[in-house]
Chain A
Amino acid sequence: MKLAVAVQRYGADINGGAELHARYIAERLARHAEVEVVTTCARDYVTWRNERPEGVDQVNGIPVRRFPVTHERDPNHFGRQSRRVFDQPHSIADEIAWLESEGPASPAMIDYLERSASKLDFILLFSYRYYHAWHGARRVPAKALLVPTAERDPAIGLGIFGATFRSVRAVMYNSHEERAMIQAATRNEEVPGVVVGIGSEIPARTDGERFRRKHNVRKPFAIYVGRIDENKGCKELFDFFLRYANTFPRGLDLVLIGSAIMPIPQHPRIHHLGFLPDEDKFDAIAASDLLIMPSYFESLSMVALEAWALGRPVLANGRCDVLKGQCIRSAAGLYYERYEEFAETLYALESNGPLHARLGRNGRDYFTQHYTWPVIERKYLDMFDQLKREDASGARRPVESLGGWLARRQRHQRPAAEVLTTIPSNAVVPGSGAAENLSRSA
């Protein structure tokens, strides 16, 4: 079996969620198939500047073919385009212009995918919202499997993506909430889909004491791992934690791991350790009492899965459907939506030993059951088998037309932000109406 993995950036040093996801999947599927990664020469996700050489490269034994990006992103132009399609009635042409301005625009990459499609069994397109995924899905729909990595942001309300989601062969969702959101937005229930997610390279042995010695952290602590950014809910986390720290002078400390792009409050109980290598990160999670995930938007939190894999409960932002749903389904975490809940849940996890231990155990079980690599690989391979059977039966879905020159320029598209408000947002939990396909897909 021959597979291509198409993703906007690729490299061992790139730690963005979707890019890391793509790398893990490529490396794992390489055990079962011949895998080639097709990507751009970009390294920076803001500018998409060509920083890596064009041509074929090897990353961890996987061949990587890079194509140049035709233009860097102009933040002002992209901002204007975003306002137009997110906040105003607009046309299909506006949306395509938005996609072009978002980038990374690499027509050569799309041409290559089209040329080599006949030699490939399937093409895995990562991140629905980028240029390569949209154009790739339209040019080679018969081979395209989409891994959307969709968050609850207005882009999902754009009309051009509806056709993409309905045209591809299959969609590999990250979570039940992501699937519910995409199906509500694009009506693609007919397209085969499975909730897969992603595994993680959990070390066989971690040493919390080593972390404590190395970083001189003595007291019990809660941990946050990730970019320290207002968009990730860190401002709210700091506000809540400072209030909590004032109320409970002897409570947990907060350890932050990751690069900071916002000011971190100076407080004796908040420790920022910066970006750490994987070994230290896993040791830190093992040493912690719990992981806090304050993000409002996630398609799948890998760090939450890593915490569960290490038997640590998670305290998540309940306004993020995905995190809330995962906490409920795994029975391995609590969630908060305001300060009072934050304080109560954090205190419960801090002080209630049996609750903490059971949530941790449930997290381990949940990870083992759903997110270990054999499970993830099996889901992909099963989907490939299913699609091959479909190939044999000759069933095909045609690519939807976006209309002629004039139709594309008619401003009939609703603002994407407005569309987003009409999409239901709830955690998918067993027993609820939205969870009718939960057991089937899991």
Chain B
Amino acid sequence: MTDFSIRSDNVDVEQIMRQIRARIREKRGVDYTEEEIRELANVKLEKFLDPRGVRSDLLEQFRRKREASLPPNFKFEDTTLFETHRGLLAFIRRLLRPVLKLFFNPNPLIDALHIQSKLNAQQAALEPLYYEVIHNLVLETTRLGIDVKNLKMRVESMSSRLDFDERRARALEGVVQYRPGAVPPLQPPSGGGDSRAPESPEQSERRNRRRRRRGRRRPEERTGGRSGQGAQGAQGALGAQGAQGALGAGGTPMSEGGEAEPVGEQSDDRDDRGLTPVHRDTDGEPSES
């Protein structure tokens, strides 16, 4: 989902819409409208099959139809028309054939039927191949459909997690303030020895407990991450507007009652997409902390 930085009182709606469309383009690759996509799909597929019309029992139907309606084929030669098992009749027909040809020319008819017979034979030979192709197509379509669904779910899940991470990062940036002197600058290690004063077992235990509660952090978060974000974080997504900017980026999540939650504890209240809408008070102003 798109985040917008509102930097001044002048909101440019067209600019926001351009950002939204750019974001959609980014997600989809090419900015086709639904109609265009449908048109493209139709152009490519209409000659072969309607993908929406693929039935789950297509193969069974195909097999049944084929068995039920397979027409008999037979060879058709130039003598087929005049053949008979009766010798006398065959003789008379042969005798009268020139007379028959005075009335019409049977040759084109014979040729056509001969070709048709051959075509029928070829068709019959091709049918198992068609069957195989359709069989494979159905299998592949099914497999691809399942894959696409899985991938879609994964992409959606990853995208929402990414959004959540981005917002969380911005929320953290907005909350953390850099105070000179508050955090002692990191000292280079002095010869491997510990320069800190030895601490009591109580202090050590308390520190360990605090560490366990916060969870283990990665080294880059402990050093550059925090101190580096200080200055930037004060600006947040709103530039000079600091904490409000973090909110603007969908930032500091609000509890149901509209109170700001501690950033570190918010993930429990969110769904797996990390989406918690900003709640507003009754006169519609956002509850900003």
A interface list, Cβ under 8 A from B: 208-209, 220, 247-252, 286-287, 289, 310-312, 327-328, 331-335, 337-341, 343-345, 347-348, 350-362, 429
Q: Chain B residues with Cβ under 8 A from A252's Cβ?
A: 277
CA distance in complex: A287, B17 (Å): 26
Please, could you name 15 A-B residue pairs with CB atoms under 8 Å apart, sorted by A? A209-B282, A250-B276, A289-B284, A328-B14, A334-B16, A340-B27, A345-B20, A347-B2, A348-B4, A353-B247, A353-B287, A354-B248, A356-B280, A358-B6, A358-B11
Provide the B204-238 mask, 1 if CB < 8 A to any CB of A, else 0: 00000000000000000000000000000000001
Q: A250-B271, A250-B277, A354-B238 are in contact. Are A331 and B247 (CB under 8 A)?
A: no
Q: Chain A residues with Cβ under 8 A from B33's Cβ?
A: 337-338
CA distance in complex: A391, B2 (Å): 57
Q: Are the C-beta atoms of B20 and A350 separated by less than 8 Å?
A: no
Q: Are the C-beta atoms of A354 and B282 separated by less than 8 Å?
A: no
Q: Are the C-beta atoms of B13 and A248 separated by less than 8 Å?
A: no
- Closest A-B pairs by Cβ, 7 of them: A353-B286, A354-B248, A351-B250, A354-B6, A344-B20, A340-B24, A331-B11
Q: A252-B277, A348-B2 are in contact. Are A355 and B11 (CB under 8 A)?
A: yes
- Summarize B's interface: helix, strand, loop or mixed: loop
Q: A286-B284, A358-B6 are in contact. Are A429 and B247 (CB under 8 A)?
A: no
Q: Chain A residues with Cβ under 8 A from B285's Cβ?
A: 357
Q: Chain A residues with Cβ under 8 A from B13's Cβ?
A: 327-328, 331-335
Q: What is the number of residues of chain B that contact chain A, defined by CB distance less than 8 Å?
A: 46
Task: Write the chain A residue with the least CB distance to B8.
Answer: A358
Please report which residues of chain B, range 231-289, place their CB below 8 angstroms from some CB of chain A when the two chains form the complex.
Answer: 238, 241, 244-245, 247-250, 270-271, 273, 275-280, 282-288
Q: A289-B280, A360-B284 are in contact. Are A354 and B247 (CB under 8 A)?
A: yes
Q: In whole Å, how far is B213's beta carbon from the nearest beta carbon of chain A?
A: 27
CA distance in complex: A341, B285 (Å): 24
CA distance in complex: A222, B140 (Å): 42
CA distance in complex: A362, B271 (Å): 33
Give the interface centre of A327, A343, A347, A361 by most chain B CB atoms within 10 Å: A347
Q: Chain A residues with Cβ under 8 A from B9's Cβ?
A: 358, 361
CA distance in complex: A345, B16 (Å): 9
Q: Chain A residues with Cβ under 8 A from B34's Cβ?
A: 338-339
Q: A348-B1, A354-B238 are in contact. Are A220 and B11 (CB under 8 A)?
A: no
A344-B1, A355-B6, A358-B6 known; 4 new pairs, CB 8 Å cut-off, are A286-B284, A334-B16, A344-B24, A355-B248
Assess whether B10 is interfacial by the CB under 8 Å rule: yes
Q: In whole Å, how far is B120's beta carbon from the nearest beta carbon of chain A?
A: 49
Q: In whole Å, how far is A95's beta carbon from the nearest beta carbon of chain B?
A: 33
CA distance in complex: A114, B286 (Å): 56
Q: Are the C-beta atoms of B280 and A353 separated by less than 8 Å?
A: yes
Assess whether B156 is interfacial by the CB under 8 Å rule: yes
Q: Are the C-beta atoms of B20 and A348 separated by less than 8 Å?
A: yes
Q: A327-B13, A331-B11 are in contact. Are A248 and B247 (CB under 8 A)?
A: no
Assess whether B67 is interfacial by the CB under 8 Å rule: no
B277 in complex: contacting residue of A286, A328, A344, A351, CB < 8 Å: A351
Q: Are the C-beta atoms of B2 and A362 separated by less than 8 Å?
A: no
Assess whether B3 is interfacial by the CB under 8 Å rule: yes
CA distance in complex: A328, B18 (Å): 12
CA distance in complex: A248, B276 (Å): 9
CA distance in complex: A290, B190 (Å): 60
Q: In whole Å, how far is A343's beta carbon from the nearest beta carbon of chain B?
A: 8
Q: Are the C-beta atoms of A429 and B20 separated by less than 8 Å?
A: no
Q: In whole Å, how far is A192's beta carbon from the nearest beta carbon of chain B?
A: 31
Task: Write the chain A residue with the least CB distance to B281.
Answer: A208
Q: In whole Å, how far is A374's beta carbon from the nearest beta carbon of chain B?
A: 25
Q: In whole Å, how far is B201's beta carbon from the nearest beta carbon of chain A?
A: 46
CA distance in complex: A287, B282 (Å): 6
Q: In whole Å, how far is B161's beta carbon from the nearest beta carbon of chain A?
A: 14
Q: Chain A residues with Cβ under 8 A from B75's Cβ?
A: none
Q: Chain B residues with Cβ under 8 A from A358's Cβ?
A: 6, 9, 11
Q: In whole Å, how far is A214's beta carbon from the nearest beta carbon of chain B?
A: 14
Q: Chain B residues with Cβ under 8 A from A287's Cβ?
A: 282
Q: In whole Å, how far is B52's beta carbon from the nearest beta carbon of chain A?
A: 17
Q: Are the C-beta atoms of B12 and A351 separated by less than 8 Å?
A: no
Q: Are the C-beta atoms of A312 and B6 separated by less than 8 Å?
A: no
CA distance in complex: A341, B241 (Å): 28
Give the interface centre of A287, A339, A348 by most chain B CB atoms within 10 Å: A348
B284 in complex: contacting residue of A248, A312, A327, A343, CB < 8 Å: A312
Assess whether B66 is interfacial by the CB under 8 Å rule: no
Assess whether B94 is interfacial by the CB under 8 Å rule: no
B16 in complex: contacting residue of A248, A310, A348, CB < 8 Å: A348
Give the interface centre of A287, A289, A334, A354 by most chain B CB atoms within 10 Å: A354
Q: Are the C-beta atoms of A347 and B1 separated by less than 8 Å?
A: yes
CA distance in complex: A287, B270 (Å): 24
Assess whether B21 is interfacial by the CB under 8 Å rule: yes
Q: Chain A residues with Cβ under 8 A from B249's Cβ?
A: 352
Q: In whole Å, how far is B186's beta carbon from the nearest beta carbon of chain A?
A: 35
Q: In whole Å, how far is B113's beta carbon from the nearest beta carbon of chain A?
A: 51
CA distance in complex: A286, B245 (Å): 25
Assess whether B23 is interfacial by the CB under 8 Å rule: yes
Q: Are the C-beta atoms of B11 and A341 separated by less than 8 Å?
A: no
B248 in complex: contacting residue of A249, A352, A359, CB < 8 Å: A352
Q: Are the C-beta atoms of B275 and A250 separated by less than 8 Å?
A: yes
Q: Are the C-beta atoms of A355 and B275 separated by less than 8 Å?
A: no
Q: Are the C-beta atoms of B156 and A247 separated by less than 8 Å?
A: yes
A352 in complex: contacting residue of B4, B17, B282, B284, CB < 8 Å: B4
Q: Are the C-beta atoms of A353 and B248 separated by less than 8 Å?
A: yes
Q: Are the C-beta atoms of A344 and B280 separated by less than 8 Å?
A: no
